[in-house]
């Protein structure tokens, strides 16, 4: 059995490295956020986790998701590879790892701010 954390990290790192080198990192992070929203739906999770549904049918659904969400071709290819490798079930872990890779590459630091008074929208930017 493949270690999920290692597999998630390897997949996310590969995607981040490729998209960083070809200049599509920003478009890819937007795609990854879209994929995260879509795959957070329990019905979508259940569909892709179902071993009785053929990889071909899953790829058809990936194609529909990609088309309706206007995903970049490399993001669609990545999702199809995950379907082929039977790793689409760890997409949420891959998303988290990709966000960490993105932050590392872009030098982004994530911070949590606490305030005793409600912050205005201009304070949150």
pLDDT value, residue 1:
45
For the chain, the first-to-last Cα distance in angstroms comes to: 43
pLDDT value, residue 32:
97
The helix-helix angle for 25-39 and 4-21 (nearest 10°) equals 140
Full residue range of the structural domain in which residue 57 is found: 4-123
Q: In CATH, what number is assigned to the domain containing residue 48?
A: 1.10.520.20
pLDDT value, residue 113:
79
Number of domains in the chain: 1
By the 8 A CB rule, do 72 and 24 touch?
Answer: yes
pLDDT one digit per residue (tens) for the chain, 125 residues: 457 888 999 999 999 999 999 999 999 999 999 999 999 999 999 999 999 999 999 999 999 999 999 999 999 999 999 999 999 999 999 999 999 999 999 998 887 878 888 888 887 76
């Amino acid at each position: 059995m493949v270690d999920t954390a290692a597999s998630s990290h390897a997949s996310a790192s590969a995607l981040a490295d490729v998209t960083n080198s070809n200049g599509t990192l920003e478009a890819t992070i937007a795609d990854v956020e879209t994929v995260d929203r879509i795959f957070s739906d329990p019905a979508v999770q259940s569909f892709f986790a179902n071993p009785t549904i053929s990889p071909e049918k899953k790829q058809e659904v990936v194609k529909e998701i990609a088309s309706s969400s206007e995903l970049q071709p490399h993001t669609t290819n990545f999702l199809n590879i995950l379907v082929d490798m039977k790793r689409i079930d760890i997409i949420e872990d891959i998303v988290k790892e990709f966000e960490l890779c993105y932050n590392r590459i872009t030098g982004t630091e994530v911070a949590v701010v606490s305030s005793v008074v409600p912050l205005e929208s201009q304070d949150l930017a």
